[in-house]
């Protein structure tokens, strides 16, 4: 290939003369992708809803009674991040407060990644769709200028030749904004849901950990009364002072 005869300007102009039509199709495809992600995230969060107030009240009652087994049954099997975090903590409760805390932090981090899945795509679309529309606008203006030059050379009406490219350019800008604005709104909405659900999981995790603090001060219904008891749980609820450890 002889690069000395390659004129990059002519190559790019040939692409530009195609106009903004392909940019519009690209924006339509990105819009479909954006809507699909929104629907998928709505279904994801909707399937993992939980009444946190009712769950917190029931969990607190069971923990005060020292019934860890029943507390574990309450949250076991649920897809909600709050229940998953609490379940991990209760499963590790027999190894002490530190183990339970680490288990819940690990579960929360893993579930947060799942909640944030595909949100980066919405953020990317929201940030870049206007620029894609602007690209279509620039291509449309270039095409309009080329059509104007061709019309003048052929002694045709310049306004008629330019109108098509100008309208195409304006439509590309508008479509870019139409794609970007819902994507940004959806991204902020779902990001807020992630933060709220994470905060709720933290609240319930602290509720579980308060069981160990109650045990350290000798409060009724505590899961443990000494560090040794926390690290070596008894075999039966009776030996643990009424605490039923989840299996």
One domain for residues 164 and 59: no
In terms of C-beta density within 10 A (0-12 exposed, 13-18 middle, 19 or more buried), how is residue 159 classed?
Answer: exposed
One domain for residues 38 and 58: no
Sequence-distant (6+) residues with CB within 8 A of 89 are 100, 101, 103, 104, 107, 205, 208, 209
Q: Where is mean pLDDT largest: 147-151, 160-164, 187-191, 215-219?
A: 187-191
d(CA 43, CA 47): 6
pLDDT at 51: 92
User: With 90 as the cut, is the pLDDT of residue 149 above it?
Assistant: no
Q: How many residues does the chain have?
A: 247
One domain for residues 124 and 41: yes
User: With 90 as the cut, is the pLDDT of residue 120 above it?
Assistant: yes
242 three-class SS: coil
Task: With respect to residue 183, please indicate whether it lies within any of the assigned structural domains.
Answer: yes
One domain for residues 40 and 134: yes
The confidence band for 137, taking pLDDT boundaries of 50, 70 and 90, is confident
Task: With respect to residue 247, please indicate whether it lies within any of the assigned structural domains.
Answer: no
Helix axes 52-64, 81-91, angle to 10 degrees: 20
CA separation, residue 146 to residues 158, 159, 162 (Å): 11, 13, 9
Residue 88: which of 197, 201, 198, 200 has the closest Cα?
Answer: 201
One domain for residues 39 and 146: yes
- Cα 65 to chain centroid, rounded: 37
pLDDT at 103: 93
One domain for residues 54 and 99: yes
Q: Rounded mean pLDDT of 28-54? A: 94
Count the neighbouring beta carbons within 10 Å of the beta carbon of residue 25: 10
pLDDT at 43: 95
Residue 97: which of 240, 233, 242, 244 has the closest Cα?
Answer: 233
Task: With respect to residue 5, please indicate whether it lies within any of the assigned structural domains.
Answer: no
**Does 172 or 123 have the greater pLDDT score?**
123
One domain for residues 72 and 190: no
CA separation, residue 43 to residues 56, 181, 190, 209 (Å): 24, 21, 12, 32
One domain for residues 146 and 209: no
Task: With respect to residue 227, please indicate whether it lies within any of the assigned structural domains.
Answer: no
**Does 145 or 76 have the greater pLDDT score?**
76
Give residue-wise pLDDT tens across range 192-243.
Answer: 999 999 999 999 999 999 887 765 444 334 343 333 333 344 333 333 344 4
One domain for residues 124 and 39: yes
Residue-averaged pLDDT of the chain: 79
Range of the domain at 86: 50-115+199-216
**Number of separate domains in the chain:** 2
In terms of C-beta density within 10 A (0-12 exposed, 13-18 middle, 19 or more buried), how is residue 112 classed?
Answer: middle
CA gyration radius, the chain: 31
**Percent of the chain's residues with pLDDT above 70:** 70
d(CA 26, CA 147): 24
Task: With respect to residue 86, please indicate whether it lies within any of the assigned structural domains.
Answer: yes
Q: Rounded mean pLDDT of 165-191? A: 89
User: With 70 as the cut, is the pLDDT of residue 183 above it?
Assistant: yes
């Amino acid at each position: 290939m002889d690069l000395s005869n390659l004129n990059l300007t002519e190559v790019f102009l040939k692409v530009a003369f195609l106009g903004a039509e392909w940019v519009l199709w690209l924006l339509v495809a990105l819009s479909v992708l954006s809507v699909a992600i929104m629907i998928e995230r709505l279904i994801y969060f909707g399937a993992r809803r939980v009444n946190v107030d009712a769950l917190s009240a029931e969990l607190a009652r069971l923990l005060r009674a020292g019934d860890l087994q029943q507390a574990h049954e309450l949250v076991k099997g649920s897809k909600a991040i709050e229940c998953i975090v609490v379940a991990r903590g209760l499963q590790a409760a027999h190894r002490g407060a530190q183990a339970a805390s680490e288990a819940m932090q690990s579960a929360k981090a893993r579930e947060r990644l799942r909640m944030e899945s595909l949100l980066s795509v919405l953020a990317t679309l929201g940030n870049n769709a206007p620029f894609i529309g602007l690209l279509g606008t620039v291509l449309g203006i270039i095409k309009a200028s080329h059509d104007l030059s061709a019309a003048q050379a052929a002694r045709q009406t310049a306004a008629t030749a330019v109108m098509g490219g100008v309208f195409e350019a304006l439509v590309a800008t508008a479509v870019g904004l139409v794609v970007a604005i819902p994507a940004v709104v959806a991204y902020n909405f779902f990001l807020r849901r992630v933060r709220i659900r994470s905060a709720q999981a933290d609240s319930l995790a602290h509720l579980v950990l308060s069981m160990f603090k109650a045990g350290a001060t000798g409060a009724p219904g505590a899961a443990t009364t000494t560090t040794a008891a926390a690290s070596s749980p008894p075999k039966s609820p009776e030996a643990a002072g009424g605490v039923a450890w989840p299996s």
